[in-house]
Amino acid sequence: PQSLLQAYAKFSGAPLAVNTLSNSWRVPKEDIPVLISEDIVISQPAKILNFLRKQKYNADYDLSAKQGADTLAYIALLEEKLLPALLHTFWVEAENYCTVTRPWFASRIAFPLSLYLPGKMSRKVLNRILLTRGGPPLYSLSEVEAQIYRDAKECLNLLSKRLGTSQFFFGDTPTTLDAFVFGFLAPIYKVCFPRVQLQEHLKQLPNLCRFCDDILTCYFRLTVSGHSPAGQDTADANLQKLTQLVNKESNLIEKMDDNLRKSPQHPPRKLTTLKLAAGGEESSPLNRLSP
């Protein structure tokens, strides 16, 4: 949800300062990301989007009624068909979870929660997948997994057909739907996992890759014009960290992989460096999965 929200905020020009929540004790239900605006605390992406809209930061202003309806339908499609496989890639796929997700996530939160929380999230995700997609005639976990990845690939194909050659889903300016799609695709596209069947499939759809790259270049770099609202200093600092992260993500993860392979115990120095170097967006692929 975090990358989705930041994308939406950038599209609509809302000034959004990103703060990492390193102490997850305060949010026991893992309801991150949380939007805090003048003492009002809002915690779910859909509600946060509603709040931003009511404050008149509306990226959908120019859409027709039908396009608004289409947005809702496509979001439903993403949640039903793409989300299970995305969650699975991050939290259930054993190699991915052990080598990337868990250490990354654990490095962001305080001990001893770091021992307990990643496992809890993993179990929660598996539970969700089995409850909503398991059941006859799929009887084993591997059958369920095969089905959800088939659905996810079909969803990616459908998105690619819908996008066609346009720059964004509804013409030349980005909208809520673009933020949602970006929020779902960016983690698949950018995070390097050992098991990458979704990413490989995505790379075969060049217009979707171009879509992600465009948004990353236009909205998550410093040299952007016409979309900067006033008072952006904190946002700029975060943008800088964001850029570092998004560009060097694969390098960082490769380094982490090397470190993990060389020594079983996590060398604390290396992980601390990670924490300082990257800002809010670093947790985005992971926090994105907090239900």
Residues contributing to the site for other proteins (CB under 8 A): 65-66, 68-70, 72-74, 76-77, 79-81, 127-128, 131-132, 135-137, 158-159, 161-162, 164, 291
Shortest reach from residue 53's CB to other proteins, in Å? 13
Shortest reach from residue 91's CB to other proteins, in Å? 14
Q: Name which of 69 and 94 has its Cβ closer to other proteins.
A: 69
Q: Name which of 137 and 264 has its Cβ closer to other proteins.
A: 137
Closest Cα partner for 214 from 185, 251, 249, 250? 185
Shortest reach from residue 164's CB to other proteins, in Å? 7
Please give the Cα distance from 249 to 238 (Å, whole number). Answer: 16
Q: Name which of 113 and 158 has its Cβ closer to other proteins.
A: 158
Q: Name which of 4 and 256 has its Cβ closer to other proteins.
A: 4
Please give the Cα distance from 9 to 78 (Å, whole number). Answer: 20
Shortest reach from residue 180's CB to other proteins, in Å? 12
Q: Name which of 177 and 186 has its Cβ closer to other proteins.
A: 177
Q: Name which of 135 and 267 has its Cβ closer to other proteins.
A: 135
Q: Name which of 163 and 216 has its Cβ closer to other proteins.
A: 163
Shortest reach from residue 20's CB to other proteins, in Å? 24
Angle, alpha carbons 48-179-152 (nearest 5°): 110
Please give the Cα distance from 102 to 91 (Å, whole number). Answer: 8
Are 180 and 13 in contact by the 8 Å Cβ rule? The answer is no
Shortest reach from residue 162's CB to other proteins, in Å? 5
What is the 3-state secondary structure of 54-87? HCCCCCCCCCCHHHHHHHHHHHHHHHHHHHHHHH
Shortest reach from residue 220's CB to other proteins, in Å? 27
